[in-house]
Structure 1
Amino acid sequence: MEITNIWYFLSALTLLSALMVVFAKNPIHSVLYLVFTFFCISGHYVLLNAQFLMAVNIIVYAGAIMVLFLFVIMMLDLRKNMPESKSSLVKLAGSVVAGTLLVILVAAFHKNTLPAPTADNTANFTSQTGMVENLGKVLYSEYLLPFELVSILFFVAMVGAVLLGKREAGERNF
């Protein structure tokens, strides 16, 4: 199977599953379609020779974030939030916003046409394009200062979260 055929198949599958996320009546089914969408996007990463991004996408999005979505859905009272309880004004406003977004997207895609990937376009990639080794080299050479600043920022945020958590629990001896 040629790479463009795989790309078109994955793109169609991704769009179909993304539409099913929106149109599914059951929120659990929407979450499952979203997980399938993430797996299709991971397939696109494999076609781009970015295996690290594929693994991170599956671990972070399809794994961790979907578990959080499922916990939120389990906590909701789904009987109170049925679509029949929405007023006509809310439905009209949603339709107007969706139609405006559709017109903007069609105008943007009409103005800019993107070429589909072909074997000639993908021949430029080396076998090490999306590998972790190259990412580490760039991250620890060109972007070392921003990387270290972000790590300090995360550390300060973690210490602040611990202090706020202790203060709320009534333990102020930190």
Structure 2
Amino acid sequence: MRRMLENQLHDLSPEVVAALSHLHYGLYFLSTGRLTEPQGLLVSWVSQVSGRPPWLLAAVRHNRSVLPALQGQGAFALNLLPAGNRELVAALGRPAARRFAGLALEEGPLGLPLLSDALGALCCRVQEVRRPGDHLLLAGPVEGAVWRGGGPAFSTAEVGHAYLGLS
């Protein structure tokens, strides 16, 4: 798909918006930092991009407050949220200053903070960063994982819309 020109982002046709909003993704929590200073945000633009070795790619909007910590640490955990847990998703969507209030965390691989209520997490060291538009693409190998299981993961279908990347 061709990259859209900057002036087109504000003038998307109803057809483009409708089609993009019907793409379904998982809804995850990307965390970084340490247990004493956790940071993170909800993300949905995520993909496994290699099998051997396993690599993940996550897109983060260029102006998100978590980026300095993420780039400084050079690693992230992708927490897989349990399907149906809208309370957890709502808590993770709070403003950054209150995002972790009342949430149980534990230290995971690479020293990353993990959500104790997540199904599991994949921990990656960032080795590639690209900026094809208004999001940074962060990619790296999976260097550790935690799996607790317990059912399917949360998806954008549960909230009735997909992130379009315009905010």
TM-score using structure 2 length = 0.20
Whose RCO is larger (CA < 8 A, sep 6+)?
A: 2
Instruction: Indicate the structure with greater helix content.
Output: 1
- TM-score w.r.t. the length of structure 1 is 0.20
The structure richer in strand per residue is 2
Greater Rg over alpha carbons, structure: 1
